[in-house]
Structures are given as structure tokens and as C-alpha cells.
Amino acid sequence: MIALEKFLEPIELANMPLSEIHRAYRMDGNSPQPDMRKDAGLGTCACCDYFVTNNDSVFLIEETQLLKSIKRWKREVQYLNDNDQKNFVDEKVKTENCLKVYGSLLVLARLMNKFPEIKNLVGEKKYCFWLVVSGLSTPEDRRYIDNLKDSQLDA
């Protein structure tokens, strides 16, 4: 039997752990941390950082320093005009996070298939995705992410 407790740990934001009471199941551990993907019989597929549950929901949590990624992606396509760069970044953010959600769902489905007792924790519940953006240091950074969030929700 798999012990999900080995994946339970304090949630980290920008590489800093929150208090002990804010705990979640880590999905994408890197050695020496346990890796839920391996216990599910998968390789290093894209998946969210954590999940937590309550009585009716499973929350998939992806913590990211999104602004750093966006700057890197913009450098990759700096030859495009501003509007095309924005469209590229918007699509990249959406695609990357969809892959992480789908990968997380696959990990949980495989674990439920392998270890039926996990159904009590994650089966037949509503799933929610939380994208937690850290590393925002200026009001301009926060406005940029707010505008990006609005464009992602409209899509």
C-alpha cells in the first residue's frame, strides 16, 4: 500500500516553507524528496506542485515565479512585434498550466487505479486549479499578472 503521508509537507512559496499547519501532498518531488509520479508508475510528466483536499474538492496547486518565465519566453521571441509576443506568452501560460493539470489528473487516476483506498481521498470530488504566483515585488508586477489573469479567464 502507498502511504500518501510521505508526500505530505509544508507548502513552499518562492522556496520558503509556510508554517507547519499549511500542508499539502507534494506531487512532483525531486530526489531526495518522494516523487508521486514514480509511485503512480509514470516518468517525469508535467504536474502540479501540490494537492490538498476537503470534503468535496481536490485543489491542484501550482506555485510559480511566473514573471521570470514570461521574461524568458519573451526573450525567445523578441523578433516578434509586441502584440504577437503577448499572444505567444498568453498561449504559453495557458498550455503549460493545462499540461500540469492534465498530468496531475493522470497521476491521481493512476494512483486510484493502483491503490483503491486513495479513492476516499480524491475520488468523486470537484477539482480546482490554483495558480499561485510568487516573486512579485512591485505594483507593476502585480498589475501585469492581474491583466494576464483577466486575459486567461476570458479565453
Looking at per-residue pLDDT, the higher value among 35 and 107 belongs to: 107
Across all residues in the chain, what is the average pLDDT?
88
Position of cell 516573486? 135
What HEC string does 107-144 produce?
HHHHHHHHCHHHHHHHCCCEEEEEEEECCCCCHHHHHH
Read off the pLDDT band of 117 (50, 70, 90). confident
User: How far apart (Å, rounded) are the C-alpha atoms in residues 40 and 123?
Assistant: 15
Cβ neighbours, 10 Å, residue 120 = 10
Residues 113 and 43 sit within 8 Å (Cβ to Cβ) = no
Question: What is the reported pLDDT for 2?
Answer: 58
DSSP string for 45-59: ----SEEEE-SSEEE
- pLDDT above 80 (res 13): no
Residues 27 and 102 sit within 8 Å (Cβ to Cβ) = no
Question: What is the reported pLDDT for 153?
Answer: 62
pTM: 0.87
* Bridge partners (DSSP) listed for residue 63: 132
